[in-house]
Structure 1
Amino acid sequence: MTMQAPLDAVRDGAIARLTLNRPDVRNAFDDALIAALIAAVRQAAEDPDVRVLLLTGAGKAFCAGGDLNWMRKMATLTDAENRADAAKLAGMLHAIWSCPKPIVAAVNGDAYAGGMGLLSACDIAMAADNAHFCLSETRLGLLPATISPYVIRAMGERAANRYFLTAERFDAATALRLGLVHEVVPQGGLAAHAEAICRALCANGPGAVQASKRLVRDFAGQPIDPALIADTVERIAAIRSSGEAREGVAAFLEKREPAWRQGA
């Protein structure tokens, strides 16, 4: 009997499509899925033909967090083994957050616990209108520790303080209001809308997109002081002299498509 791969990873032109593929357990994490996601994200980051990554789930759920059997096993581990296991999940989230290329999350259904961390680590998140969200760790006597840096950035300190503590379940409209997701669309239109966002990203200069992602990572929350202003000057001066920028401006003036957009 052939075992089903925990992650379906396919490159489709400039888009790397990553689908969590454990629908029987609502795409919950285990060691194999964590390792597969890290490998797929790194491979896409290194592939010069990939412009954007699209992450979604198979079946009715996006991701239910940690697999209960996997979590049950943790209770039997030594302290050192538990630390190493937690580091794998933390490493997966950081691989997504730090990927130089944009990652779009199409949240096709419920996102619980680690699934909340997963979508929060992505650059753009949109959800189906029937999706629900929950930071459920405290119900189990656990802590949303490894996901917290990403969730707090996505939904804000005030909202995180409430939902980390209460473990309340909330709907897609609330997720949108909190800023956890950028858009909510009808479930039947989610795939097409996510595709349109990916195509929009592919239409832009790939170097400029990656530099803009770094800009947000580096400058968010920083004081606007002389050092930061000088950094902005250096960055815009450097990109203005790049071949990509010269091609983009020339294409605009000549009323033609830039080279990177052809075939994207």
Structure 2
Amino acid sequence: MTETVRRAHARGITTLTLDSPRHRNALSAALVAGLADALDRCGADPAVRAVVLTHTGGTFSAGADLRDPPPPQALVALLRRIVELDKPVVARVAGHVRAGGLGLLAACDIAAASTAATFAFTEVRIGVAPAVISLPLLPRTDPRALARYYLTGEHFDAAEAARIGLVTAAGDDVDQVLAPVLDGLRRASPQGLAETKRLLTARVLETFDRDADVLTALSARLFSSAQAREGMTAFLERRDPTWAL
């Protein structure tokens, strides 16, 4: 559909593939716009029963593209579009996920991961915070675990991601994990899926309504700060930032 998002359809399931492996599927302005457009098309297509969101390469998403970042408002709109879509969105993760990519997982209704995947909230290491992505994360993920991983930027594995509610299930073969999920979605009625999803996402959308403006402003302020400039420069230059001990 775009240079960064590919679409395929089979038996009621539309698969949207993040296809920017050279940039580790980082959330550039172009990728965010392309994915939003693809989701809109899925929402308008009665042949689509559910959406699978997956990726090429060894990384599901590396988070915000520091060379071409999307405006915070665009990322908020994308996450809300996933939550509000009246069709289930299922994440298929066969690679690593960092920072903003974890927001995509949390926005999805179901997420399955390979045991080879790793996860990390790396924002604190470049001088910012996981602000916008907290909109779907905080209502759906264990708060004590988030406190640890938000504050430290540690890597954790797929089993831990499942334990804390970031993903639904993990296994050596992610497609085997997803097979009964997709079979169940194909057997469900469109009306039943839409109304059940509304029940499940009501509290998440309340968080968007209450906190989106504040967290968008926080994200913009942090990304324009001196510490963020140093953190992003250090990341791109593959060195430690000045505050590292």
- Quote the Cα distance in structure 2 between the aligned partners of 1:34 and 1:111: 16
- Contact 1:30/1:70 (8 A) holds in 2: yes
1:207 aligns with 2:207: no
- Quote the Cα distance in structure 2 between the aligned partners of 1:45 and 1:198: 18
- Quote the Cα distance in structure 1 between the aligned partners of 2:78 and 2:63: 13
- Contact 2:139/2:203 (8 A) holds in 1: no
1:17 aligns with 2:3: no
Instruction: Output one character per residue of 1:4-49: Cα deviation in whole Å (capped at 9) or x when no partner.
Output: 8101122223111101001112111101100011011111011111
Higher RCO, Cα 8 Å, sep 6+: 2
User: Structure 2 residue aligned with 1:47, among 45, 48, 67?
Assistant: 45
- Quote the Cα distance in structure 2 between the aligned partners of 1:5 and 1:152: 32
Amino acid at match of 1:108: A
1:66 aligns with 2:64: yes
1:217 aligns with 2:201: yes
- Quote the Cα distance in structure 2 between the aligned partners of 1:181 and 1:133: 11
Q: Which has the larger radius of gyration?
A: 1
- Contact 1:23/1:58 (8 A) holds in 2: yes
Give the length in aligned residue pairs.
205
Instruction: Name the structure 1 match of 2:174.
Output: 190
1:160 aligns with 2:146: yes
- Quote the Cα distance in structure 2 between the aligned partners of 1:11 and 1:36: 17
What is the DSSP-based 3-state SS (H/G/I as helix, E as strand, rest coil) of the residue aligned with 2:61?
coil
Instruction: Output one character per residue of 1:93-138: Cα deviation in whole Å (capped at 9) or x when no partner.
Output: 1111111100010111111001100011000011000100001001
Amino acid at match of 1:11: H
- Contact 2:86/2:193 (8 A) holds in 1: no
- Quote the Cα distance in structure 2 between the aligned partners of 1:219 and 1:164: 22
1:118 aligns with 2:104: yes
Shift of 1:195: 4.0
Instruction: Output one character per residue of 1:160-191: Cα deviation in whole Å (capped at 9) or x when no partner.
Output: 222111111111111111111111111xx212
Instruction: Output one character per residue of 1:81-103: Cα deviation in whole Å (capped at 9) or x when no partner.
Output: xxx81111111111111111000
Instruction: Name the structure 2 match of 1:98.
Output: 84
Q: TM-score, normalised by structure 2?
A: 0.79
Structure 1 gap segments, 5+ residues each: 72-83, 223-264
Instruction: Name the structure 1 match of 2:93.
Output: 107
Instruction: Name the structure 2 match of 1:257.
Output: none
- Quote the Cα distance in structure 2 between the aligned partners of 1:193 and 1:157: 26
- Quote the Cα distance in structure 1 between the aligned partners of 2:137 and 2:36: 19
Q: TM-score, normalised by structure 1?
A: 0.73
What is the DSSP-based 3-state SS (H/G/I as helix, E as strand, rest coil) of the residue aligned with 1:100?
coil
Amino acid at match of 1:173: A
- Quote the Cα distance in structure 2 between the aligned partners of 1:67 and 1:11: 28
- Contact 1:54/1:198 (8 A) holds in 2: no
- Quote the Cα distance in structure 1 between the aligned partners of 2:129 and 2:53: 25
Structure 2 gap segments, 5+ residues each: 207-245
What is the DSSP-based 3-state SS (H/G/I as helix, E as strand, rest coil) of the residue aligned with 1:56?
strand
